[in-house]
Amino acid sequence: MFKLQSVTQLANETVVGVKNLLTGMGVTFKNMISPPTTQCYPEIKREMPARYRGRHFLTRNSEGLENCVGCELCAANCPVGCIHVEAAENSEGNRVSKGERYARVYEINLLRCIYCGYCEEACPEDAVILREHYELANYDRDCYIADKEELLTYPEPNQFRVNYLGNTTVVKK
């Protein structure tokens, strides 16, 4: 009687074991034939969502003038104080922006920035924007102080272009 019980128990455990093994192999096989969810960075670069907050840029209007009018609202709203703006007056001989004033100095400390996007939201002119550019790693700490010239330039390899309204289009290489 005892022997019969042991054989029955062994048979049951074997059936359960085989069933579990087949279930596990089924999961493995399913993943073998499904398309991969990972990408081979940097050979393949991910298209970031439209609202991704990456590197900052300063925008220009359709006439090529800077949209920034040096009001410093972005700096006032930055929770970590990493924006530095110094405004100056436009003149007839030196018109830089469409407003009365322009940003003579505009700097962002990209190491201190927490990429919250408050500066973009606070700006009344859509002059500062955070876009899809995410390749920010560098060995040189000094390059993380982005000055106005750098912020007005869209560096390669960017995967996007920004129009004067701050809208972006992805550029396929």
In angstroms, what is the minimal distance from the CB of 158 to ligand SF4?
A: 18
| For ligand SF4, the closer CB: 21 or 80 | 80
| For ligand SF4, the closer CB: 74 or 96 | 74
| For ligand SF4, the closer CB: 20 or 138 | 138
Q: How many chain residues bind ligand SF4 (CB under 6 A)?
A: 27
116 counts as binding ligand SF4 under rule CB under 6 A: yes
Q: Rule CB under 6 A: choose which of 90, 107, 128, 160 binds ligand SF4.
A: 128
| For ligand SF4, the closer CB: 160 or 166 | 166
146 counts as binding ligand SF4 under rule CB under 6 A: no
Judge whether 56 and 68 are in contact, CB under 8 Å.
no
The contacts of residue 46 (CB under 8 Å, 6+ apart) are 39
Residue 147 is which amino acid? D
Burial 48-79 (b: 16+ CB within 10 A, else e): beeeebebbbbbbbeeebbbbbbbbbbbeebe
Q: Rule CB under 6 A: choose which of 122, 136, 145, 152 binds ligand SF4.
A: 122
111 counts as binding ligand SF4 under rule CB under 6 A: no
Q: Which residues ranging from 44 to 103 are in contact with ligand SF4 (CB under 6 A)?
A: 68-74, 78-80, 82-83, 85, 103
Q: How far apart are CA 52 and CA 122, in angstroms?
A: 17
Q: How far apart are CA 167 and CA 53, in angstroms?
A: 13
Q: How far apart are CA 6 and CA 12, in angstroms?
A: 10
Q: How far apart are CA 99 and CA 166, in angstroms?
A: 18
170 counts as binding ligand SF4 under rule CB under 6 A: no
125 counts as binding ligand SF4 under rule CB under 6 A: yes
**Residue 20 CA, distance from chain mean position:** 43
Q: Rule CB under 6 A: choose which of 52, 115, 134, 154 binds ligand SF4.
A: 115
